[in-house]
Structure 1
Amino acid sequence: MEVIVPFSTDRPKSRLSAVLDPDERAAFARAMLRHVLDAIRAAGGEPRVLATGPVDADLACPVEVDERPLTDAVNEVLDARRGDDGGEGDAGDRGEGPVPVAVVMADLALATPEALRELFAAGRETDVAVAPGRGGGTNAFVASHPEFRVDYHGASYLDHRRIAAKVGASVAVVDSHRLATDVDEPADLAEVLIHGEGRAASWLRETGFALDAADGRVGVERE
């Protein structure tokens, strides 16, 4: 399955500025991206990075640069994909009918191959499979319905449910802690240190971050 991974190179992870300087934020964003790409490959997916600018790293997968906002860039991919196969795929991924395409965000530092396999399997059985994020976002989805498009503004999970209903697409919701946890705030780093495996968690530990359970609350501290 083709998996599109949007990645921002413009001031990445600015909300982590209280704990990481600009160079560190860029390095951590790349570590999370590599983690997600590793998990996608291990799950049997074929990743393609959709970046807002050139990526200074060898990712061992295609990288396409699109400077437009996320919604426009992803919809362009969906438009091109439907145009390529005319809305009809081959029998390789879902029998006869449209071929599913997945979109997985680059900051899912807890993602595992098992969680992604669950998402991919759901996407092969329904028109749209969505993994919602905390706070109502959309962290990953698989879509094969030729009329489904995205809108990442606001509570995008609810928007995508409405869009799917409007075009008559069936929807499956994949409730996964590992896919629901995107890393945006300093508090999210504790989740990575507690549950994370792979490049993102290793980068934090190598940079000197550790868990801090002072005052009965789990957070992070830096040596």
Structure 2
Amino acid sequence: MDKIYAIIPVSQFANAKTRLSPFLSPEERKNLLKAMLKDITTTLKPIVDKILIISKDEEVLDYAKELGLTTIIEEDHKKSKSLKPSDNGGLNKALKQAMKWSRKKTRKIIILPSDIPLIRKTNIKLLIEQSKNLDFIIVPSKGGGTNTLIAKPLAIDMKFGEFSFKKHIEEAEKKKLTPFVHDSFYMALDVNTTEDLGEIMIHGNGTETKKYLESLEIKVESIHGHERLKVTRN
């Protein structure tokens, strides 16, 4: 068995990217997440064996099916119809559920967030090829988080949350795995702030995400101040 599955956890559309409020409306934030998810999965489809979307939001799962992806309902969803945002414990639990589903079907899993639309700008295919000979590959995000992780299913306990990059490295070392750190600007860029939107406008040529931001008449200019980019709307 020489397969790799991608696992992408997605929170509910109704509370997507609240840090971008009020710059974007709730509907615009939902459509932004849809565009980013489409960019990521379009990039992954030719190079992984299956893409799994795990969520407790039925709207997310329906959209994933439209994209031709495999869906998993978070177990908590069966117990409660609440669509409150999952905390990091809930995220780690969901990832464990997805890995249990995968472990007898695939050799390795690649875990990614739903908000790194510039992924195609890096050589993700090469990274997956490297994973055939490496135990544990990790890509840091801005601020000390983890934006991609490749390992055997359930190889370590998931530690997503504050400063998860360091925690995942420590967990790997505890399991006698040798972490390989892949540092990529494009994969480190997860979209949470208006400045991140500016980075997409600069670097995201050819992506659905940039196309959508352009439809909102979002503009970006370079400035020399506390922030590097000024992002505005007409």
Q: Report the equivalent of 2:82.
A: none
SS in 2 for 1:140: strand
CA contact (8 A) 1:145 1:169 kept: no
Q: Report the equivalent of 1:3.
A: 6
Greater shift, 38-47 or 182-191, is seen at: 38-47
Counterpart among 48, 61, 72 of residue 52 in structure 2: 48
CA contact (8 A) 1:122 1:172 kept: no
The equivalences for 1:67-106 within 5 A come to: 67=77, 69-82=90-103, 84=104, 99-106=107-114
Distance 2:153 2:229 in 1: 42
Q: Are residues 1:210 and 2:219 paired?
A: yes
Distance 2:144 2:166 in 1: 7
Distance 2:154 2:52 in 1: 20
The equivalences for 1:123-202 within 5 A come to: 123-144=131-152, 147-197=155-205, 198-202=207-211
CA contact (8 A) 1:6 1:51 kept: yes
| 1:39–1:113 CA distance, 2 compared to 1 (3 A) | farther
Counterpart among 23, 26, 30 of residue 22 in structure 1: 26
CA contact (8 A) 2:122 2:187 kept: no
Report how far residue 148 of structure 1 moved. 1.6
Distance 1:114 1:44 in 2: 15
Distance 2:17 2:93 in 1: 20
Percent of aligned positions with the same letter in both sequences? 25
Report how far residue 193 of structure 1 moved. 0.4
Long gaps (5+) in structure 1: 90-98
Question: How well do the aligned residues superpose, as a CA RMSD in angstroms?
Answer: 2.0
SS in 1 for 2:51: strand
Q: Deviation per CA, 1:20-70: give whole Å up to 9, x if none.
A: 011111111111111111111144453121123112521211122215611
TM-score (norm 1): 0.86
Distance 1:120 1:184 in 2: 26
| 1:215–1:133 CA distance, 2 compared to 1 (3 A) | closer
Distance 2:188 2:210 in 1: 17
TM-score (norm 2): 0.82
SS in 2 for 1:192: helix
CA contact (8 A) 1:43 1:113 kept: no
| 1:118–1:175 CA distance, 2 compared to 1 (3 A) | farther
Distance 1:48 1:71 in 2: 15
Distance 1:174 1:215 in 2: 30
CA contact (8 A) 1:128 1:141 kept: yes
Q: Are residues 1:60 and 2:68 paired?
A: yes
Q: Report the equivalent of 2:124.
A: 116
What is the one-letter code of the residue matched to 2:102? Answer: R
Report how far residue 113 of structure 1 moved. 6.5
Distance 1:208 1:186 in 2: 13
Long gaps (5+) in structure 2: 78-85
SS in 2 for 1:124: coil
Q: Deviation per CA, 1:107-144: give whole Å up to 9, x if none.
A: 00211074321331232221110111011111111102
What is the one-letter code of the residue matched to 1:151? Answer: K
| 1:42–1:210 CA distance, 2 compared to 1 (3 A) | farther
